[in-house]
Amino acid sequence: MVKNNVKYLLAIMFIVFSVSVFINSCAPKKPKVDQTAIMREQQRAAEEARLKAEEEERRKFEEAIKIEQERKAAEEEEKRKFEEAMKAEQKRKAAEEARLKAEEEGKRGIEEEKLKEEEEIKPQIAREAEVKVVPQLDDIHFDFDKSDIRTDAREILQKNADWLQNNPDIKIQIEGHCDERGTAEYNLALGERRAMSTKKYLISLGISADRIYTISYGEELPIDPNHSEDSWAKNRRAHFLVITK
């Protein structure tokens, strides 16, 4: 009997063992698989959350930059507007000053207006003309290496201009001359400048540019061939001739 019991016991144990093996091999596997999936799911969720957070952060950062840029642009625009306004103000002021100065000059004389005309006047030549000296037109004189109209010359030019106003059909030739104390090359240009500044002065006194021809003789035709301060002063001149043909 004992032997039988043992057999039964063994049989039961076997059955129990088999059942447990069966249970172990089938049922318990499922929950284990689920566990990993959940962990993965959790990890993914965490990752997504992190990415999302990062994305959000970046978006916020970019937004901040954008806002900063917009702010800066606005500031610059403001600054530009301000500068423009300043410039406009300055321009207005300059214009006002120029106007005032022009008014002032208008009261004092004609200096400023003359300069404006300078750029436009070009030399004219009377190639086929015949010329003669008339006693009514006097020479004017210049300082060494200068072509500006001296005070003593203004009077003479006024007189010459008056005569020209009274003789509106007469055309004249102005010759620019230099003394020998300069190079022939430079004096050619200086004589031209003397003739031109004389012409401009006459224009400013109301004489038409069409009536005035100019030519530079540089240092080639001195009126006084001597080599003294006196002779040089005489030779630095603008000479007036009437065109007869």
Partner 1 sequence: MNKKTSVSDQRSAIKVLLFFLLFTVHCSLFSAFADTSDVYLSITKAGGAKIKIAIPDFLVQEGAIDRENFSKKSSEILTNDLNNSGFFKTIENRDILKEIDAKDKKTGKINFNEWTSLGAEILAKGHITIEGGKINIECRLYALKSGEQIIGYKYGGDRTTFRQMIHKFSDEITYRFTGENGIAQTMLTFVSKVTGNKEVYISDYDGQNIRKITDDKSISLFPKWSPDGKNIIYATYRYRNPDLYLIDVADGKKTPVSIFPGINAPASWSPDGKRLAVSLSKDGNAEIYTMDFDGKNLSRLTKSRSIETSPAWSPNGIEIAFTSDRGGSPQVYIMGSDGTNLRRLTYQGKYNDQSSWSPDGNKIAYTSLNGGQFNIFVIDLVSSKVQQLTSDTGDNQNPVWSPDGRRIAFSSNRDGKYQIYAMNSDGTDQRRIIYLEGGGYSPSWSQRIE
Rounded distance between C-alpha atoms, residue 106 and residue 93, angstroms: 19
- In a 3-state reduction of DSSP, which class is residue 170? coil
- C-alpha torsion 25→26→31→36, nearest 10: 60
Over the window 104 to 143, marking each residue x when it contacts partner 1 by CB under 8 A and - when it does not, the resulting string is --------------xxxxxxxxxxxx--------------
Residue 23 or 125 with smaller CB distance to partner 1: 125
161 binds partner 1 (CB under 8 A): no
- 218 strand-pairing partners: 177
181 contributes a contact to partner 1 by CB under 8 A: yes
What residues contact residue 56 under an 8 Å CB cut-off, 6+ apart?
A: none
Q: From CA 47, how far away is CA 50, in angstroms rounded?
A: 5
Amino acid code (one letter) for 168: P
Let me know: does 93 contact 99? Beta carbons within 8 Å. no
CB of 194 to partner 1, least distance (A): 11
CB of residue 220 to partner 1, shortest distance in Å: 5
**H or E segment to which residue 107 belongs:** helix 29-108
204 binds partner 1, rule: CB under 8 A? no
Query: Does 214 participate in binding partner 1 (rule CB under 8 A)?
Result: yes
User: What are the distances in angstroms from CA 218 to CA 57, 156, 193, 233?
Assistant: 83, 22, 10, 14
One residue of 63, 155, 185, 224 binding partner 1 per CB under 8 A: 185
Q: Supply 38's token pair.
A: 């959940």
Which residue number, 163 or 217, has a Cβ lying nearer to partner 1? 217
Using CB under 8 A as the binding rule, whether residue 163 contacts partner 1 is answered as: no
Q: Which is nearer to partner 1, 56 or 130 (CB)?
A: 130
User: Is 155 among the residues that bind partner 1 (CB under 8 A)?
Assistant: no
The count of residues interacting with partner 1 (CB under 8 A) is 32
Identified binder of partner 1 from the candidate list 184, 206, 224, 244, rule CB under 8 A: 184
Contact footprint for partner 1 (CB under 8 A) = 118-129, 145, 181-186, 188-190, 192-193, 196, 214-218, 220-221
